[in-house]
Every structure is written in C-alpha cells, then in structure tokens.
C-alpha cells in the first residue's frame, strides 16, 4: 500500500505526513475509525523517516502488506476467536460435576442451575474471554506503538520543500 503526502513536521526519525484521502479509503471497512479530519479529506500519519526528508517535501509512504495482514488479524480476528474459545470452554465447564456441586454449595440451588446451564455459562465465559482479548490487544498496541511496527515508512522523496498544503 502506497500513499503520497506532504511532511508537516519532523521529529527524530519520524515525520508527520499530511495525506489526502484516496480511492482506497472508499472501500475500507475501517474508514469509520480512521483519523480523518472533519471534512474527511485529509489525515495526518506518523511515518518512519529513514530518508531524512524535511518539512514541506512531498513523499511516498508505504505500509508492508504483511504488517497490514498481521494488524488485521490481531485487531479483528483475535476477539472473534476469543469469543468462540470462551464459549466452548464454558460449554465444557458446564459438564463438570464438581463445578456444579461447588457452585450449588456457594450460591444455592436455583442460582447455580442458572449459572451452570450450558448456554448461560457459554455466554458468560465467551463474553469474559472477549473482554480479556480487548484488554490484551490494548496492552499489545501500547507496546507496539512505541516500536513503530505498524507505522508506514517514507520510501521516496518526490519534491523539495514547497508551500503549506498538499493541493498544490
């Protein structure tokens, strides 16, 4: 995936690049959570600046397809897998006699029957795993953001520093 933009500011080995919304954005499923400006025409992206590009230069950004696939897997499929794994585990737990008898001793017969029914326990454990997966993704994303693993990189400088915007 490649996009063109203009560097707005440079900070150490990364640059804030102003990128125009492209045709790729129209078909993207994540366009609702993308950091577009209010007019949805321009977005600001931090990119690795290994070419030492300067503010005002027009550049080409690239994000490796494998990184896009890895990010998609982590952020979209992990919660789904967690939900199904938790639901299956809940179903297995509902069949364990020791769990049912222990729950009856602690909570009473009526509440234990409700909580340990196969469907209810599957729902509760599935939702619990789903919540834990979101928490795990949040922790992972905080660590990854510092490393810049999913940050695009500048691969070409197209022009020398120019005026204020990308519409020139």
Question: What is the pLDDT at residue 29?
Answer: 52
CA-to-CA distance for 77 and 142, rounded, in angstroms?
A: 19
pLDDT confidence tier of residue 27, bands split at 50, 70 and 90: low
Q: Any idea which of 52-61, 64-73, 99-108 has the lowest mean pLDDT? A: 99-108
For domain 2-63+152-159, which architecture applies? Answer: Roll (2.30)
Contacts of 139 (CB under 8 A, 6+ apart): none
Q: How many percent of the chain have pLDDT more than 90?
A: 15
Please name which of 148, 146, 152, 133 lies closest in space to residue 74, comparing C-alpha atoms. Answer: 133
Question: What is the pLDDT at residue 65?
Answer: 73
Residue 110 burial (CB < 10 Å; 0-12/13-18/19+)?
Answer: exposed
Residue spans of the domains in the chain: they are 2-63+152-159, 68-146
For residues 16 and 129, the model is more confident at 129
- Strand partners of residue 10: 15
CA atoms within 13 A on the CB side of 114: 4
| pLDDT higher than threshold 70 for residue 164 | no
User: Considering Cα of 87, then 88, then 91, then 95, what sign does the dihedral take?
Assistant: negative
| pLDDT higher than threshold 50 for residue 168 | no
For residues 111 and 52, the model is more confident at 52
| pLDDT higher than threshold 70 for residue 89 | yes
Tokens read off for 19: 């990128």
The C-alpha R_g of the chain, in whole angstroms, comes to: 24
pLDDT confidence tier of residue 79, bands split at 50, 70 and 90: very high
| pLDDT higher than threshold 60 for residue 2 | yes
| pLDDT higher than threshold 70 for residue 59 | yes
Q: What is the DSSP string of 89-158?
A: HHHHHHT-HHHHHHHHHHH-HHHHHHHHSHHHHHHHHHHHHHHHHHHHHHHHHHHHHHHTTT--EEEEEE
Query: What average pLDDT does range 35-60 have in this prediction?
Result: 77
Query: What average pLDDT does range 75-102 have in this prediction?
Result: 84
State the DSSP H helix or E strand holding residue 48, giving kind and residue range, or none if neither: strand 42-48
């Amino acid at each position: 995936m490649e996009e063109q933009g203009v560097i707005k500011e440079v900070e150490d080995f990364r640059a804030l690049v102003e990128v125009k919304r492209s045709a790729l954005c129209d078909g993207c499923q994540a366009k609702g959570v993308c950091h577009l400006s209010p007019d949805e025409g321009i977005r600001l992206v931090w990119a690795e600046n290994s070419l030492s590009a300067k503010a005002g230069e027009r550049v080409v950004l690239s994000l490796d397809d494998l990184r896009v696939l890895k990010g998609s897997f982590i952020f979209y499929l992990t919660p789904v897998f967690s939900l199904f794994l938790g639901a299956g585990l809940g179903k297995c737990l509902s069949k364990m006699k020791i769990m049912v008898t222990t729950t009856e001793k602690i909570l009473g017969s009526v509440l234990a029957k409700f909580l340990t029914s196969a469907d209810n326990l599957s729902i509760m454990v599935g939702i619990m795993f789903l919540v834990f997966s979101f928490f795990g993704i949040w922790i992972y994303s905080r660590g990854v953001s510092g490393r810049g693993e999913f940050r695009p990189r500048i691969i070409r400088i197209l022009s020398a520093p120019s005026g204020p915007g990308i519409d020139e």
